[in-house]
Structure 1
Amino acid sequence: MFQRALICTDFTDGIYRLAQFVPSLAAGGFKSLVFFHSMPVESGPEIPRASPERLEPARQRLQELLREAPDTVEVTIEVQWGRTSDNILRLAKQHQVDVIFLGSPTRTLLEEKLFGSTTAALAEKTGVPLIILRPQLMSTYTTAELELRCAHLFRYLLVPYDGTQGGKKIVQNIRQQVKNNPNSVLERVRLLWVIDDHVRRELLGDHPVQQAQQELDQLQSELAALNLVVNTTVVEGNPLEEIMKTAEIHDIGAIAACSGGAEGIFKWSAPSLTHEILRRSWHPVLFFPS
């Protein structure tokens, strides 16, 4: 789906390991990769100061990992000091990337509110899709597992869809990404419509399952025209639980998600399903900001 990536690491998230698998990322469709590490500016008794000599060890560490990078992929190393989210936004624009890799641990709402989140800040400020990976998994994958993960990350997407603007936005973004990239590796999409069993039956209409299936059948035809294999499922239950169960059963590469509206998904007074997926899913999450 994507060709130009900004891969961000703080060297504690396991994301830096991707530098060893540039050939696999190339097999996944990438032609340009920017590996980025952000360092905080030192604070002294007088004014904050940057230490240029501190940047070189991080640059060398990434360079050593890139020994297997093929000539067919443009690879850049960026090590800068300053606020991480600001640096990422600037580099994403400078290198014209079409996806940003981030490591984000699973967190409760309270933890995220207390300690902040680079992912949350970026989701509110950028229009570039984010692929969220769990540091706990990235750090424990074997070399063989990570090699396969890099090559197949964007081959099979799970798309939670319920007929709302958020779901339609995800499908629109996928359609646009595939059309804009003639070498897209996306092969399969699974559309999942979960009818929330906590919603009163009279609010769902007379035949909610049949109506949902009809809409998914239409989307299936539209996406199949892009040479994608499209599967559809309609179930009743808890949306988050059914999404996680489906991702596990069907060997999904990533779960696609999208912000729910102009208010943003990270407002503490308005938690959303997308927010819960980003916060709790162990599967990679491909997030399309508004």
Structure 2
Amino acid sequence: MFQSCLICTDFTDGLDRLVNFVPELAKGGLKKIIFLHSLPVWEQERLTGVDETQIAQARERLSGALQKVPEGVEVKIEVLCGRPTDTILRVLNHEKLDVIIAGTPIRSALEEKFFGSTSMELTKQTASPLMILRPQLISTYTVEELSLRCQHLWRYLLIPYSDSEAGQYLISQIKKYAQNRPANSLQKCMLLSIIEDKGRENIITTHRLEQAHQKLEALKEELEQLELEVNIEVKQGNILREIIHTAVEFDISAIAVAKNPRSPIIDWAVPSVVNEVLHGVWFPLLFFSPHK
């Protein structure tokens, strides 16, 4: 699906393990891979300066990425000083990259307000797609499991769809990146529409289920024109629970989501389905932000 990526690691998120899987990442279609580690220049409200020893040590930890690089694949290592969000944006300003890969722990929305998240901050600062891989997941894969995962990061996408501005943007981005996708990349999509249980009369619920099915059938035809295998599911129930159940049932590689930017106050007071997915799902997430 993507041909170039920026892999950001703080050495506690498990993503530094990916330096040993460059050939497998290349099999999934990546032709350009940059590994980035950010070193802080502030500590306890004081300027600490640049530590050349730390830079050298970080580069050494990432140096495995430069071994066994397949022909036609470009690999770079960047160790920069500054806030992770700032250093990531600096790289993006100098390199043309399709997707950012980062890790973030599962936290409640309230915890995130207090502790922050580089991944969530990135969604406000750039329109580049963001692939979120949970540290708890990546760290527990065996070498064999991680090898397979790296080859199939985007093979089968689950797309929870709502006929909203964000939902339409999500479909447009999937179509955009599917048009010139590398071989062995995106192969299948699962379009999922969920009608929530809210005590509606049966006749109203039935009508909404029929409408959702018709909409997904139309989207299926559009995506199939890009030589994708497309499946559709219309379900009734709790949205988050049905997303997780569908991802497990159909052997999904990643869940693709998008949302419009909202003020922090609105996000806190009126949680969205995307927020629930970001804060409560273990699956890899492919996040699109339409704000730029």
Bucket of the pairwise TM-score, normalised by the shorter protein = over 0.9
Contact 1:265 1:275 in 2 (8 A): no
Quote the residue 1:127 is aligned against: 127
Quote the residue 1:251 is aligned against: 251
- In the superposition, relative to structure 1, how do residues 144 and 47 fare at CA in structure 2: closer, same or farther (>3 Å)? closer
Q: Partners in 1 of 2:211 and 2:19 — Cα distance?
A: 46
Contact 1:260 1:274 in 2 (8 A): no
Contact 1:130 1:288 in 2 (8 A): yes
1:105 equivalent in alignment to 2:92? no
Using the TM superposition, give the Cα deviation of residue 269 of structure 1 relative to its aligned residue in structure 2, in angstroms. Answer: 2.6
Using the TM superposition, give the Cα deviation of residue 110 of structure 1 relative to its aligned residue in structure 2, in angstroms. Answer: 2.1
- In the superposition, relative to structure 1, how do residues 200 and 89 fare at CA in structure 2: closer, same or farther (>3 Å)? farther
Task: Report the 3-state secondary structure (helix = DSSP H, G, I; strand = E; otherwise coil) of the residue aligned with 2:271.
Answer: coil
Equivalence map 1:63-102=2 (5 Å): 63-102=63-102
Amino acid at match of 1:257: V
Quote the residue 1:19 is aligned against: 19
Using the TM superposition, give the Cα deviation of residue 189 of structure 1 relative to its aligned residue in structure 2, in angstroms. Answer: 0.3
Equivalence map 1:206-225=2 (5 Å): 207-225=207-225
Amino acid at match of 1:16: D
Quote the residue 1:34 is aligned against: 34
TM-score by length of 2: 0.93
Amino acid at match of 2:280: R
Aligned-residue Cα RMSD (Å) equals 2.1
Q: Partners in 2 of 1:279 and 1:44 — Cα distance?
A: 28
Deviates more, 1:243-252 or 1:65-74: 65-74
Deviations 1:98-121 (A, max 9, x none): 100001111112221111111111
Q: Partners in 1 of 2:31 and 2:286 — Cα distance?
A: 19
Task: Report the 3-state secondary structure (helix = DSSP H, G, I; strand = E; otherwise coil) of the residue aligned with 1:193.
Answer: strand
Amino acid at match of 2:58: A
Quote the residue 2:115 is aligned against: 115
Deviates more, 1:272-281 or 1:127-136: 272-281
Q: Partners in 2 of 1:115 and 1:44 — Cα distance?
A: 15
Q: Partners in 1 of 2:268 and 2:214 — Cα distance?
A: 35
Q: Partners in 2 of 1:45 and 1:100 — Cα distance?
A: 29
Quote the residue 2:195 is aligned against: 195
TM-score by length of 1: 0.94
Q: Partners in 1 of 2:238 and 2:170 — Cα distance?
A: 20
Q: Partners in 2 of 1:63 and 1:199 — Cα distance?
A: 57
Contact 1:178 1:184 in 2 (8 A): no
Using the TM superposition, give the Cα deviation of residue 8 of structure 1 relative to its aligned residue in structure 2, in angstroms. Answer: 0.3
For structure 2, list consecutive stretches of 5 or more residues without a partner in the other structure. Answer: none
Using the TM superposition, give the Cα deviation of residue 270 of structure 1 relative to its aligned residue in structure 2, in angstroms. Answer: 2.9
Task: Report the 3-state secondary structure (helix = DSSP H, G, I; strand = E; otherwise coil) of the residue aligned with 1:68.
Answer: coil
For structure 1, list consecutive stretches of 5 or more residues without a partner in the other structure. Answer: none
Amino acid at match of 2:146: L
Using the TM superposition, give the Cα deviation of residue 163 of structure 1 relative to its aligned residue in structure 2, in angstroms. Answer: 1.4
Deviations 1:176-198 (A, max 9, x none): 11124364721100000000112
Deviations 1:186-218 (A, max 9, x none): 110000000011264499576111111111111
Contact 2:108 2:279 in 1 (8 A): yes
Q: Partners in 1 of 2:64 and 2:72 — Cα distance?
A: 18
Task: Report the 3-state secondary structure (helix = DSSP H, G, I; strand = E; otherwise coil) of the residue aligned with 1:20.
Answer: helix
Q: Partners in 2 of 1:208 and 1:47 — Cα distance?
A: 58
Q: Partners in 1 of 2:287 and 2:205 — Cα distance?
A: 30
Contact 1:32 1:75 in 2 (8 A): yes
Deviations 1:137-183 (A, max 9, x none): 11110011000001111110000012122221111100011124364
Using the TM superposition, give the Cα deviation of residue 65 of structure 1 relative to its aligned residue in structure 2, in angstroms. Answer: 4.8
Using the TM superposition, give the Cα deviation of residue 55 of structure 1 relative to its aligned residue in structure 2, in angstroms. Answer: 0.4
Contact 1:124 1:264 in 2 (8 A): no
Task: Report the 3-state secondary structure (helix = DSSP H, G, I; strand = E; otherwise coil) of the residue aligned with 2:8.
Answer: strand
Amino acid at match of 2:95: H
Aligned length: 290
